[in-house]
Amino acid sequence: MQSTTQSNGVAERFIRTLKEECTYVNDCETLEEAREAIRASSSATTAAGFSSATNI
């Protein structure tokens, strides 16, 4: 896939949302803590009927 300004914006927004809703809320100090917070959030999202990210 060719990189475009728009596709980069989508990725940037996803990362921003991930930080705001998972890692900042849980005050993660290590990479492993951040991964666990993301997995927990991903599980809750899937249970609510939304698709989740895989291979985090």
- Residue 24 domain boundaries: 5-47
Give the per-residue pLDDT at 22. 80
- On whether residue 18 sits in a domain, the answer given is yes
- On whether residue 56 sits in a domain, the answer given is no
Give the residue ranges of DSSP H helices in the chain.
Answer: 5-18, 31-47
Contact by Cβ (8 Å): 44, 37: no
Question: What is the number of residues in the chain?
Answer: 56
What is the total count of domains within the chain? Answer: 1
pLDDT-derived band of residue 23, with 50, 70 and 90 as boundaries? confident
- On whether residue 53 sits in a domain, the answer given is no
- On whether residue 37 sits in a domain, the answer given is yes
Model pTM score: 0.49
pLDDT at 1 over 80: no
Taking the C-alpha atoms of residue 25 and residue 49, their distance in angstroms, rounded to an integer, is 22
- On whether residue 12 sits in a domain, the answer given is yes
